[in-house]
Homo-oligomer: A and B are copies of this chain.
Amino acid sequence: MSVTQPVRSPRRRAPRNSLNADRILDAAIRLLDCHGAEAFTMRALAQQLGVGTMAVYSHFRGKDEISDAVAQRLLDTIELPPAGSGDPRAELREVCLGVYRLFSEHPSALQLLTLRPMRGDDAISVIDRMLGLLCEAGLSRTEAARAHVALMQYTVGSALWNTRRARALCDDGVRDRVRAKIDALPSDRYPSLVSLAPELMRVQENGAAQYERGLDAMVEGLLGGR
């Protein structure tokens, strides 16, 4: 009997035009979400697409261009709340939560954004919406700009913080090591930390709830009694 199907097929030539930018970006996002930024490799990407490594280069100039396109696509999927509720404060909260949710659901996208330098590809509609709401809430032009930047910084920082924490905790035995380190702390030198360690842990257990509390505080501080 002749071997009609080789055991280790050297992969047949991929059919013409079966590859395109969208399929590549889908695969990239899947790779990033499932296996993290360090698994996002040109070779892994091509393999997941069932194609030779260099096939991808027919559709993108290189890895950087793919990274930017991934970031762009993800930023565009941020869901905005319906407009015109008459409560700019509540709407503002929802917009921020939308941004936070995206980064929480796609942690490696956040990593990607921090790695690649900034480009003009920000989430335009999100920015516009936030600025509009801040003005509507009674802030001056400069105050609105300041408030917007502050809210974005807090949101990005929170998502990043939680991502890092989650990555560490799902790792083996890190949780125990941290716990041991805290227990070993001299309570006369670090009284507040030792005393509040349980609260510190508990509060970070639910990242989204913690984010909302901080968000409320920041919005309160920014809008005040207005």
Contact = CB atoms under 8 A, between A and B. Distances in A.
A39 interface: no
A72 interface: no
B220 A153 contact: no
Contact of A127 (B129, B161, B193, B218): B193
Contacts of A217: 147, 150, 218, 221-222
A169 to B, nearest CB: 8
B141 A218 contact: no
B114 A165 contact: no
B135 A192 contact: yes
A113 to B, nearest CB: 8
A168 B214 contact: no
Contacts of A181: 120
Which of A124, A125, A217 has its CB near the most chain B CB atoms (within 10 A)?
A217
B168 A200 contact: no
B152 A161 contact: yes
A196 B125 CA distance: 14
Stoichiometry (number of copies):
2
Interface stretch (A8-16, A49-57, A73-81, A202-210): A202-210
Interface of A: 111, 113-115, 117-120, 124-125, 127-129, 131-132, 135, 141-142, 144-150, 152-158, 160-161, 164-165, 167-168, 171, 174, 177-178, 181-182, 185, 189-193, 195-196, 199-200, 202-204, 210-211, 213-214, 216-222, 224
A214 B149 CA distance: 9
Nearest to A222: B217
A159 to B, nearest CB: 9
7 contacts: A118-B174, A145-B199, A146-B214, A152-B157, A218-B218, A218-B221, A220-B224
Given A128-B190, A145-B200, A158 B164 contact: no
Contact of A202 (B145, B165, B193, B224): B145
Contact of A160 (B117, B148, B157, B189): B157
A183 to B, nearest CB: 11
